[in-house]
Amino acid sequence: MTGSPSRSDATASLTEVSSTRLADGRELLYFDDGISPPPCRPEDTRDLPGRGPSGELRYDALSGEWVAVAAHRQHRTHLPPADECPLCPSTPERSSEIPAEEYDVVVFENRFPSLGPDLADVPPAPGWGTRGPAGGRCEVVAFTNDHTGTFAGLDTRRVRTVIDAWAHRTEALSALPGVQQVFCFENRGQDIGVTLHHPHGQIYAYPYLTPRAAVMARAADAFLAETGQSLTGHILAGERADGSRMLVEGEHFSAYVPFAARWPLEIHLVPHRQVPDIAALNGAERDELAVLYPDLLGRLDELYGSPTPYISAWHQAPVDPALRRSGYLHLQITSPRRAADRLKFLAGSEAAMGAFINDTTPEQVAARLRETSVRRTGTS
């Protein structure tokens, strides 16, 4: 479980990348599956209003946390019909956010960002009443030009392209002034709160360390100082030795239901080698990830025979070098679905106190997900 360079190995990517600008100045990047030169793509000719200023950050002195105030997002697109989807390719009859008539994977700056478009450091020495611009970046990742489908249904080559896109954007966004953390994630399902049906994810580049990341970074840093070992690596070794919650053990990655799972459905996918972020994964690791990751998502849908809402969250090391030494990339997939027709809602204990109560046992959930894999593949 040794460390790894924080920058990507250019040979790890199999994807062709090209960049353009949308009519209002936002950056858009095409990530192509093939290695041949990409086709010539049209410009965005829409008559768009200019981009507004960034929203606002306000400091919650009671908790010591930053809160983004983004009132302009109240008017963002919400569950449009297929013929008005902003992530579908443009046609002669209708222009979307993506000028091309077809694409593989696209990443572009969100038109309704929670953070940015300005870049700014958070105000120093904050207290009650401290506010400042919500600097950073919010990007949308369109996984396919097909309006229907799921990430689990993408072919392996396309998943590899998405991984390369995450790596590219993680490295680029981490280098922006003021950015402290880069977060790649997918919200799936209306029960989670998605506003677009088209298969897509998002990337946030925060100007501060988020509360959850700060808690995990402190724990990892303390464990490293006390033992000289990686906390996530230690947990991975413990889960593999115990075995009761293991789902997959590959050459480069393992997946398990964590010992202290908070959610009815929770899966952690962890590389065997300590790396700080997706950009640091080598080619072989990305290849295996492109197979294992959609398989895990597919098990969630197979569990109850219908689409399961989930949040897929990539936990990457903070940009700060002092915290990066103990950082360890891993994926956490969580779902509030506790039965075929029931969801877990965050009520008093969870929402008010942050004290989770799980209605399932991690061992039972792991056993059911292992059985699901057998049903899906037809193996014994």
Contacts 24+ apart (CB under 8 A), 60-68: 61/126, 61/127, 61/128, 61/130, 63/211, 65/211, 66/122, 66/208, 68/114, 68/115, 68/134
CATH superfamily placement of domain 10-209: HIT-like (3.30.428.10)
Is 90 exceeded by the pLDDT of residue 297? Answer: yes
pLDDT tens, position by position, 18-69: 999 999 999 999 999 986 667 789 999 999 999 989 999 999 999 999 999 9
Over range 244-259, report the average pLDDT: 98
Name the CATH topology of 213-377.
HIT family, subunit A (3.30.428)
Residue 240 has pLDDT above 60, yes or no: yes
Query: Any idea where the domains of the chain sit in the sequence?
Result: 10-209, 213-377
CA–chain centroid gap for 367, Å, is: 26
CB-based contacts of 33-37 (< 8 A; 24+ apart in sequence): 33/104, 33/105, 33/157, 33/158, 33/161
Mean pLDDT value across residues 234-239: 98
Instruction: Report residue 376's pLDDT band, with 50, 70 and 90 as the boundaries.
Output: low
The CB density around residue 341, as the number of other CB atoms within 10 Å, is 8
Q: Do domains 10-209 and 213-377 have the same CATH topology?
A: yes
Give pLDDT, residue 1: 37
* Residue 2 pLDDT exceeds 50: no
pLDDT tens readout for residues 60-119 = 999 999 999 998 887 778 889 999 999 999 999 999 999 999 999 999 999 999 999 999
Beta strands in 117-156 (DSSP E): 131-133, 137-142
- Tell me the Cα Rg of the chain: 21
pLDDT at 270: 98
pLDDT of residue 5: 37
Tokens coding 37: 């030169």
Mean pLDDT of 246-260: 98
pLDDT tens, residue by residue, 339-350? 999 999 999 999
200: pLDDT strictly greater than 70: yes
What mean pLDDT do residues 131-140 have?
A: 97
pLDDT value of position 3: 38
Residue type, 72: H
Strand pairing category for 337-339 and 342-343: antiparallel
Neighbours of 356 (CB within 10 A): 13
Q: Is 200 an annotated catalytic residue?
A: yes
Q: Catalytic pick from 200, 272, 315, 330?
A: 200
